[in-house]
Structure 1
């Protein structure tokens, strides 16, 4: 159960990376470890940004004044085959080399499934007269070996209409604190129906609205007790912030409606490797390193949304699909009062 929660909140992606190769990659030097980690974790960070921004709306028509709605929303952004691997070029690395002598190879990202790629770092002789000992290791594979090709998010969302044509929205995921993982998630949005300005709005068959929304996620995974590498207070920390600007259109029928729109997403995800590390091999053997590196991933792009909603009294259900760099789907169960 804990691994599922960590996956939902991207901590599991850092966990996968950390459990397999932190000690090995740091043996190649901090700069090489940072470069590899950036390419390896990028699909997870970018997919998370797109997943976090789904499910903000299920209609352009605003609720009546003082009405509110509570929703349970589940999202998934899909990772395509082009984001399951990347080309590692050793000419861009300071110390990392392929054991087979090549300079470029396709290797796995956090969602890939490429095994058996062996690299090494030339060691230094610490004893006069003895040859240097190279640090050799296999690059990590990803979640593809478990047939996982999506980044999920899930949360509760509330919408309230304080004024005619206007809705305030808030979303959150109950904070999780375990012995080694912490996660926080929240967002706030403002939606306004432009067609509510029309003098005969009830006669107009389509509602048109605009939405601005901000979402934040922060999480950490502490792996000090796993003894991957000697040190103290070792952990991954992730901080992700996104903005969504969305134009929405929908029908206004009693039971079944369709909705859609076009939006622009902007987001930044920062993943930090924190703590003290004492690597036993490679170019920084016997050195003590504190807070080795921080990697940043930025996303900006247009998305299109199409969805449908069924209303049965106070209960409503909606399903949508989003077309973007990381396309995805969202399911909402909504209760209006």
Structure 2
């Protein structure tokens, strides 16, 4: 059953990576790589900044919708999606603030779209020591929200605890690359562990939850004619990306018949590791041809900070509806639907 739901979600998961695919298409890769190895990494990092943060924030979201743990053996299987809203400040970046060593803005326009900025032509840059070599940076996607879908199975364990599993097999193809993901989360209800019989004095549920998520993405760039070559050759050009994230949350909820509202506060962290790999032949100063190997490597911490959530779970016989709103380094909304047995 999990595998069936995973394949149904595959299309939406791949949509999350369209911006990276655009960056790695033939023309856009060369747009970055032409800047030279050091500057290419800085430009790619700035362009993909909201993508890294949005994916990190989204994959750490929606592990829970209640503090109450399921009874042993009870479960639910859900499909859900989180949209991390890219703030206006992350929809463009200033070329002049990147301290580039090899290229500079061609004219007075120094601001250019990020991956989730407006779908308009990027700023023009040129080689500092040869202004006859210039090129445009990639446009934005025109989308201001980073999607991050999940398939999640939650099972009740003993002693007021539960485990959640996320899994999507490797899916995709040549057009958009291949994506896979997995994650594991644990939740422990602590209401009965507090002193003074808190559950009787204040009729609420309290819990602590942790989660870890990982997304892998691989894209083989189509073989194309290189600068100075008459024929198409395979230089093993590809893009590889790995995203890792974890979160720790304290949850408070109150079950009201079939409706359970909740609030939570916690800490979440996300990291990314992305490389544009292979060999690339580009035009350098003086019309010389330069070969760059593995020109872009980005390893960074994208999200690290507190966040707060408010949301609900709605139980309608065997069906569940979920929703939440999150405030942190990014704002995000989550909606989901699931099937389950028991509370």
Aligned to 1:258: 261
> Partners of 1:106 and 1:135 in 2: how far apart?
20
2:29 to 22, 26, 31: 22
> Partners of 1:283 and 1:204 in 2: how far apart?
76
Aligned to 1:110: 115
Aligned to 2:152: 157
Matched-pair contact (CA < 8 Å) for 1:231–1:275:
no
Q: 2:161 aligned with 1:174, yes or no?
A: no
Aligned to 1:75: 82
> Partners of 2:92 and 2:216 in 1: how far apart?
26
Q: 2:296 aligned with 1:293, yes or no?
A: yes
Aligned length: 322
> Partners of 1:175 and 1:2 in 2: how far apart?
9
Q: Which segments of 5 or more consecutive residues in structure 1 lack a partner in the other structure? A: 124-131
1:157-194 deviation per Cα after TM superposition (whole angstroms, max 9, x unaligned): 11112212100111122320413512110100110000
> Partners of 2:48 and 2:152 in 1: how far apart?
28
1:263-299 deviation per Cα after TM superposition (whole angstroms, max 9, x unaligned): 1111101110011212234479423222112112312
Secondary structure in 2 aligned to 1:225? coil
> Partners of 1:228 and 1:305 in 2: how far apart?
50
TM-score of the superposed pair, with normalisation by structure 1: 0.87
> Partners of 2:47 and 2:218 in 1: how far apart?
18
Secondary structure in 2 aligned to 1:218? strand
Q: Which segments of 5 or more consecutive residues in structure 2 lack a partner in the other structure? A: 1-8, 228-232
- Cα deviation, residue 200, structure 1: 8.1
Matched-pair contact (CA < 8 Å) for 2:226–2:281:
no
Q: 2:332 aligned with 1:325, yes or no?
A: no
Q: 2:19 aligned with 1:13, yes or no?
A: yes
Change (3 A) 1:142 1:282: farther
TM-score of the superposed pair, with normalisation by structure 2: 0.86
Alignment of 1:187-206 (within 5 A): 187-197=183-193, 201=199, 205-206=203-204
Q: 2:318 aligned with 1:314, yes or no?
A: yes
Secondary structure in 1 aligned to 2:289? coil
Structure 1, 24-33 or 244-253: larger mean CA deviation:
24-33
Alignment of 1:78-157 (within 5 A): 78-89=85-96, 92-100=99-107, 102=108, 105-113=110-118, 114-115=120-121, 117-122=123-128, 134-144=132-142, 148-157=143-152
Matched-pair contact (CA < 8 Å) for 2:23–2:29:
yes
